[in-house]
Amino acid sequence: MMELKVLQWDDRIVGTMNSTQKASYRENITNYSVLPWRPKANPQKSWSFPVVTGRKYRLHWQKGVDFMRMRIDFSPHWKATDKDVYFIHNFTDVRAKVDFLTGGDNI
Which tens digit of pLDDT belongs to each residue from 3-51? 788 999 999 999 999 999 999 999 998 999 988 776 666 656 667 778 8
The C-alpha angle 75, 33, 14, rounded to 5 degrees, equals 100
- Per-residue pLDDT band for 64 (boundaries 50, 70, 90) equals low
More confident residue, 64 or 57: 57
Answer for the pair 90, 98: CB distance below 8 angstroms, yes or no. Answer: no
The pLDDT score that the predictor gives to residue 90 is 74
Residue (of 13, 12, 3, 15) closest to 59 by Cα position: 3
Express each pLDDT in 66-77 by its tens digit: 566 677 788 888
Answer for the pair 48, 33: CB distance below 8 angstroms, yes or no. Answer: no
Total residues belonging to the chain: 107
Number of structural domains (the chain) is 1
The pLDDT score that the predictor gives to residue 5 is 87
Range of the domain at 77: 3-106
How many other CB atoms are found less than 10 A from the CB of residue 7? 19
Separation CA 66–CA 64 (nearest Å) = 7
The pLDDT score that the predictor gives to residue 75 is 84
- Per-residue pLDDT band for 60 (boundaries 50, 70, 90) equals confident
The pLDDT score that the predictor gives to residue 8 is 94
